[in-house]
Amino acid sequence: MGINKYNKLLTLHIFFVFLMLGLTAFGGPVAHIGYFRSEFVDKRKWVDASQFQDLVALCQFLPGPMSSQVGFALGMLRGNIRGGVAAWLGFTAPSAIFMLSIGIGINQFNNDLVIPYLHGLKLAAVAIVAWALWQMGKSALRGKTQLLLAISSCLILLSTNLIWNQLALIILSAFIGVFCIPRKHNEILTSPNIKLSKRFGNTCLFILVGILIGAPILASITNIGEIYIFSSFFRVGSFVFGGGHVVLPLLQAEVVPLGWVNEDKFLAGYGAVQAMPGPLFTFASYLGAVSAPIIGNTNGWIVGLIALCAIFLPSFFILSAALPYWKILRSNPSLRSAITAVNATVVGILLAVFIDPVITSSVNQISDICVVFIGICLLSLKRIPVWLIVLLSASTGAFL
């Protein structure tokens, strides 16, 4: 068998392995890591436990969707860059197609039929974000400095919730962390055996910075809606520390104030994506599809795919840039202190968005409070899948 044919078959194999995970991996980033460990450490033995642990540590350390980055890295371990792309496509496609379809459907269906279910999905989002805040707070706010950063960030954003304020708070908290959070020297584990040169990593970083600077300029010059969409979602994907639920405030600040998506549809889509397998970042495909008519594009599929690619692309540039330097990065205690501070700040950012608009636009009466409370209780049991809670909330909201 020729090398090219073998590589193509290997790429297809990687795609279908991750496609099965994309169809069945419910439960969010932490659950995805469990699926990956079972599939690639215990069953297929693509990596050993030490390599897998280090990959997870690296992807927690970097901006972007943690589980998708781990999947991309596992694909690269098996089949180089093509394997990484195949892994991402397989893991992302099922949820992305579902969310694109929902976004297009919401634009086309009669509002009288859709609004009751939107309200139920918004109540599901309240319960899910509340539970995520509790879980994140327990792990991220373990000192007075972290708690102060979270409270300060929340109060500042409740006063003015602009995307640049969020990014400024993240950058400022990193500097505060370097000087105010005790430095811990951690043991360096085995490095992932992914052979990427420093030159390739530097090129990826150069492209990332170039797009971050150039895309907004190009959008303002051309005034093309699709470029604005790409620029906004690319920026969000570059600055999301923690992944998962943390993407909510950054996306909300990008699309709602500009009028691309109203708050009702935004929160309903966020509730819907919780019921999907695969990465939560496919929420971007829904937002792109819903935004399409506003920017003058009648093809929601195209705009949804632009938003989807834009939000994932930065994390893969960042991962590729970091891998050649992972030993140096991980052994730097100042950098770890900075990341600790950033994690505390994003809890405060998420708390601000949880208060306004998640609660203020969703919880309007006593029955809504009851639905949210029941949802939080069900989430705390951990035995009931999130997608079932979302469906129950949507149905209850429609009934009420």
pLDDT value for 277: 85
Choose among 263, 260, 259: nearest CA to 249: 263
Contacts of 220 (CB under 8 A, 6+ apart): none
Choose among 261, 250, 310, 252: nearest CA to 96: 310
Interval 387-399 mean pLDDT: 77
Q: Is the pLDDT of residue 189 over 50?
A: no
User: In this predicted structure, which of 62-66, 164-168, 187-191, 309-313 has the lowest mean pLDDT?
Assistant: 187-191
**232 touches 254 (CB < 8 A):** yes
Rounded (10°) angle between helices 66-108 and 49-61:
60
What confidence tens digit (pLDDT) does each residue in 277-334 have? 889 899 999 999 999 999 988 889 999 999 999 999 999 999 989 888 776 776 677 8
User: Which three-class secondary structure state does DSSP give residue 26?
Assistant: coil
Residue 360 in domain: yes
pLDDT value for 232: 94
Residue 138 in domain: yes
Q: What's the pLDDT band for 122 if we cut at 50, 70, 90?
A: confident
Residue 40 in domain: no
Residue 164 in domain: yes
Q: What is the number of domains present in the chain?
A: 1
What confidence tens digit (pLDDT) does each residue in 45-101 have? 888 877 787 777 678 778 888 889 989 999 988 888 899 999 999 999 999 999 999
Residue 80 in domain: no
pLDDT value for 27: 66
Contacts of 100 (CB under 8 A, 6+ apart): 285, 286, 289, 300, 301, 304, 305, 308
pLDDT value for 188: 45
> Measuring CA to CA, how many Å separate 150 from each of 130, 135, 262, 307?
15, 14, 27, 29
Residue 187 in domain: yes
Residue 107 in domain: no
Choose among 394, 386, 398, 388: nearest CA to 128: 386
What confidence tens digit (pLDDT) does each residue in 230-267 have? 999 999 999 887 666 778 888 988 898 889 998 888 98
| φ, ψ dihedrals at 126, nearest 5° | -60, -50
Residue 276 in domain: yes
Residues of the domain holding 243: 112-399
